[in-house]
A = this chain, B = another copy of it.
Amino acid sequence: MSGSTALARFAAFARSVAGPDAVIDDPRERQAYSCDGLTSHRATPGLVFVPSSRDELIVGVREIIRLGLPFVARGAGTGLSGGALPETDGVLVVLARLTRVLEIDPISRVAVVEPGVVNLDLSAAVAGEGLLFAPDPSSQIACTIGGNIAENSGGAHCFKYGFTTNHVLGLELIDPTGELVFVGGQSLESPGPDVRGLIIGSEGTLGIATTIVCRLINQPSLRRTLVAYFDDAVQAGDAVSEIVGAGLVPAAIEMMDRPALVACEAATHAGLELDWGAALLVELDGPAEEVDEGFVAVREALAAAGARSVWVATTEAERERMWRARKAAFAAAGRVAPAYIVQDGVIPRTSLPRVLAAIGDLARESGLEILNVFHAGDGNLHPLVTYDPSVPGEEARAEEVAAAILSLCLAEGGSLTGEHGIGVDKVCKMPEMFSATDLSVFARVRTALDPRGLANPGKLLPTPRLCGEQAGRYRPHPLEEAGVATRW
């Protein structure tokens, strides 16, 4: 059967089981789904399937698999690495209508949700019980929990609370062979290999979550927040080491360099001081006495590292202004230049001053302004490389600079991505971080769960087709290719 015949058959099937609204095949409407937050990569999906219930999802995905069509899951499309880039000859499975919170259990502190539930909506649904869902990506007003699982999303507060994998206890998955599997449970301890952990962060390559068990945590009774200013980024980096080394665990430690300070203040008029080399936003949360005690210790650590000025939020409104300024960084970059590339990399905390200095050199050499905002607690950089696409060659230069920043991260023993994922954006860079054998393990696991390669093909793992010679460095192990029988 040709690809277009299979797509037409699936469209007819999906309409019959899920109604006419469940299928989008008009070319212009399909084009609206041609990219996620990574707008540099686009592909019009062969067909869009929008189920309204778990059952429609399961029946539909099984038919997609039976027909041998590739499929890509999409939540809100806020991802920044092209993880939801569609296949032109496949089906884009949009989960945006699966928005039900099925169960809230305040005693066991779990909620059971559908994959299309918006991150912030879950916290809103459990706020009356004094609870919240901890992962807080900056897109949390729009992004879905299914998407958080695909990307193992973090956020400003993951230094203290961890990533999505620490807050999703179990899930029902329709795997790439069409089987329904339940992984994990109602607690983080389950016998045998942690397949739950394998699914979370696999970027839609191992199946689609249909039902999700989320862990909820207590809302903190108190939050205290400050902004501290330093002469330079080296001192700010020292302050982060002082704080962490003293055993303090702030809910967030965010860093902005001077260009970011200037741009964020211009965008929000929050009241940031501008005559400094770098600033840290530090927030503590938890029981009141613990927070008050910790806040004193944080201020001591900041002073010891050379903080020259400290702005302490005395009201909730002031705290919100601080966060608005920090979170405006992306919008603020748009005021500096018509376009920008946001990079996402991780470095060991101790490398922070050295990497910031090197990024400064790159900015000077390239003539491009770079704003640095950081989840400094876990060493997760988000440099914004600004450029003007109307200036010939500037976009290419920006891409070179962004790539060079990533190479800096890897040279320091860091990571290709902190929270934006690999997707299509960094798939050909995987061999720079992982050895051939490391990648072979990923590939063997993926093949085991998706023998036909239907689930989000072209994402996460490099292939010769995508990446040329580079990807040729890893191959299935000879023993695997030989298909030697198992003895257990």
CB of A468 within 8 Å of the partner chain: no
Q: What residues of chain B lie closer than 8 Å to A290, measured between beta carbons?
A: 286-287, 289-290, 293
Q: What residues of chain B lie closer than 8 Å to A26, measured between beta carbons?
A: none
Q: A192-B442, A195-B198, A442-B195 are in contact. Are A245 and B107 (CB under 8 A)?
A: yes
Contact mask for chain A residues 425-462; partner B; CB cutoff 8 A; 1 contact, 0 none:
01000100101011011101111111111100111110
Interface size on A, residues (CB 8 A): 103
6 contacts between A and B (CB under 8 A): A179-B477, A182-B438, A198-B198, A290-B290, A446-B486, A452-B485
- CB pair A479–B177 under 8 Å, yes or no, is yes
**Complex CA–CA separation, A348 to B448 (angstroms):** 32
Stretch at the interface among A41-49, A262-270, A392-400, A412-420: A412-420
Cβ 8 A contact of A460, one of B192, B196, B447, B483: B192
Contact mask for chain A residues 471-488; partner B; CB cutoff 8 A; 1 contact, 0 none:
000000101101111111
Shortest CB–CB separation between residue A242 and chain B, in angstroms?
Answer: 10
Q: What residues of chain B lie closer than 8 Å to A437, measured between beta carbons?
A: 175, 179-181
Q: What residues of chain B lie closer than 8 Å to A422, measured between beta carbons?
A: 191-192
Q: What residues of chain B lie closer than 8 Å to A483, measured between beta carbons?
A: 451, 483
Contact mask for chain A residues 276-320; partner B; CB cutoff 8 A; 1 contact, 0 none:
000000000011011001100000000000000000000000000
Q: A194-B200, A218-B247, A445-B448 are in contact. Are A189 and B438 (CB under 8 A)?
A: no
- CB pair B441–A181 under 8 Å, yes or no, is yes
Stretch at the interface among A32-40, A114-122, A201-209, A325-333: A201-209
Q: What residues of chain B lie closer than 8 Å to A349, measured between beta carbons?
A: 107-108
Q: A437-B181, A451-B484 are in contact. Are A193 and B189 (CB under 8 A)?
A: no
- CB pair B451–A479 under 8 Å, yes or no, is yes
Cβ 8 A contact of A445, one of B165, B182, B449: B449
Q: What residues of chain B lie closer than 8 Å to A214, measured between beta carbons?
A: none
Q: Which of A177-230 contact B (CB under 8 A)?
A: 177, 179-183, 185-203, 205-206, 218
CB of A130 within 8 Å of the partner chain: yes
**Complex CA–CA separation, A350 to B110 (angstroms):** 13
Q: What residues of chain B lie closer than 8 Å to A383, measured between beta carbons?
A: none
Cβ 8 A contact of A202, one of B193, B206, B346, B452: B193
**Complex CA–CA separation, A440 to B178 (angstroms):** 13
Q: What residues of chain B lie closer than 8 Å to A378, measured between beta carbons?
A: 187, 189
CB of A421 within 8 Å of the partner chain: yes
- CB pair A182–B435 under 8 Å, yes or no, is yes
**Complex CA–CA separation, A180 to B130 (angstroms):** 47
Cβ 8 A contact of A451, one of B165, B426, B461, B477: B477
CB of A154 within 8 Å of the partner chain: yes
Central interface residue in A244, A286, A294, A441, by most chain B CB within 10 Å:
A441
- CB pair A189–B415 under 8 Å, yes or no, is yes
CB of A379 within 8 Å of the partner chain: yes
Q: What residues of chain B lie closer than 8 Å to A380, measured between beta carbons?
A: 189
CB of A144 within 8 Å of the partner chain: no
Contact mask for chain A residues 134-165; partner B; CB cutoff 8 A; 1 contact, 0 none:
00000000000000000010100010001101
- CB pair B192–A163 under 8 Å, yes or no, is no
**Complex CA–CA separation, A450 to B378 (angstroms):** 34
CB of A463 within 8 Å of the partner chain: yes
Cβ 8 A contact of A488, one of B202, B463, B486: B463
**Complex CA–CA separation, A189 to B379 (angstroms):** 11
CB of A70 within 8 Å of the partner chain: yes
**Complex CA–CA separation, A483 to B453 (angstroms):** 12
Shortest CB–CB separation between residue A447 and chain B, in angstroms?
Answer: 6
